[in-house]
Amino acid sequence: MLSIKNLKAEIEGKKILNGLNLEVKAGEVHAIMGPNGAGKSTLSAVLAGRADYEVTEGTVDFDGKDLLELSPEDRAREGVFLAFQYPIEIPGVSNTNFLKTAINEKRKYQGLEPMEATDFLKMMREKMELVEMDKSLTSRSLNEGFSGGEKKRNEIFQMAMLEPKLGILDETDSGLDIDALRLVSEGVNKLRNKERSFIVITHYQRLLDYIVPDFVHVLYKGRIVKSGDASLAKELEEKGYDWIKQEVEANS
């Protein structure tokens, strides 16, 4: 589904990604871990199409399409969803109107008619239940006055509504207490299926206790330097990142 080859990217002349390779197949969950400054958030930003990052080399193929050539909105409409680390507040834009617009723009892109209002409301209700989202939040402005946990849950709710092929969770666990973390993770787990893939970017292993990945990759200095299964995350939790850094330094 997603094939990243030799990806190099920089911001304001500073090289962040230095030849990253990653293959994600349909239905797989890949965790990307790494110390601060390794390039984790850059990877999510580049995949979602943030303009301030410049890709200098490499390719990203998403279901046969050159992802890097697409605008952020087209990436979303092709099925990429980024759950933001810091979802922003947009006063004056209602959650409901925002989601209706997003869904209908996606349908338009796919050549479909706009969704019937009743179908849309039904879908809202179902997905709200699925991710245990408080009903009162949907009538409010987008993320305005939401707690940290509510904002993250709203990201997962949006993901549930937009039904992407690939969900990228950018440090979704940051700033969450254990109850919020559990709720958000349960929401993600309910969205896992044979077709839908996830890239879970996190600094800490604890998220991966809830969202158990098929693969764990360690990102360091802009490259994936180690890959393994879920047990690698446990090892990192116990030993920290220093041994990986030393391994990398020794090999270079």
Partner 1 sequence: MLVENIKAEFNLYKNQAEKSDFFLKREEAFAEFEKVGFPTTKNEEWKYTNLKNITNQSFQSTCESTIETELMLSHAFLKELTANKLVFVNGSFRPELSTIIETDESIVISTLAKAKTAHSELFNKHFGKYAPIEGQGLNAMNTALLSDGAFIYVPNNKTVTNPVIIVNIADSTDVNVLCQPRNLIIVEKSASLTLVETFYAVGNNPSFTNVVNEVYANENAHIEHYKIQNQEGESYHNNFTQIFQEANTNINHVTLTLSGTLVRNNLHFFMNGQNCNSLLYGLYMPHGTELVDNHTRVDHAFPNCHSDELYKGIMMDKSVAVFNGKIMVHLDAQKTNAYQRNQNILLSNEATVNTKPQLEIFADDVKCTHGATIGQLDEEPMFYLRSRGIPADVARKMLLNAFADDIAERIKIPELVELLEQEIEKKI
21, 61, 98, 165: residue in contact with partner 1 (rule CB under 8 A): 98
Q: In the complex, what is the shortest distance from the CB of residue 232 to partner 1, in angstroms, rounded to a whole number? A: 30
Give the span between the Cα atoms of 73 and 129, in whole angstroms. 27
Using rule CB under 8 A, residue 101 touches partner 1: yes
Using rule CB under 8 A, residue 147 touches partner 1: no
- The enclosing H or E element of 20 equals strand 14-24
Interactions with partner 1, residue window 223-242 (CB under 8 A): none
For helices 117-130 and 178-191, the axis angle rounded to 10 degrees is 130
**Closest alpha carbon to 223 in 2, 19, 41:** 19
Using rule CB under 8 A, residue 91 touches partner 1: yes
Using rule CB under 8 A, residue 88 touches partner 1: yes
What 3-state class would DSSP assign to 114?
coil
Q: In the complex, what is the shortest distance from the CB of residue 75 to partner 1, in angstroms, rounded to a whole number? A: 8
Using rule CB under 8 A, residue 106 touches partner 1: yes
Using rule CB under 8 A, residue 63 touches partner 1: no
For partner 1, give the closer residue by CB, 55 or 102. Answer: 102
**Closest alpha carbon to 74 in 109, 113, 99, 45:** 109
Going by C-beta distance under 8 Å and a sequence separation of 6 or more, which residues neighbour residue 95?
A: 137, 138, 139, 140, 141, 142, 154
10, 105, 209, 247: residue in contact with partner 1 (rule CB under 8 A): 105
72, 134, 135, 147: residue in contact with partner 1 (rule CB under 8 A): 72
- Other C-beta atoms closer than 10 Å to the C-beta of 228 total 15
Contact track, partner 1, 161-200, x by CB under 8 A = -x--------------------------------------
Q: In the complex, what is the shortest distance from the CB of residue 127 to partner 1, in angstroms, rounded to a whole number? A: 14
Distances in Å between the alpha carbon of 87 and those of 34, 150, 222? 22, 10, 24
Q: In the complex, what is the shortest distance from the CB of residue 49 to partner 1, in angstroms, rounded to a whole number? A: 7
| Binding segment toward partner 1, per CB under 8 A, in 69-77, 180-188, 204-212, 239-247 | 69-77
Residue type, 36: N
Q: What values do phi and psi take at 23, rounded to 5?
A: -120, 125
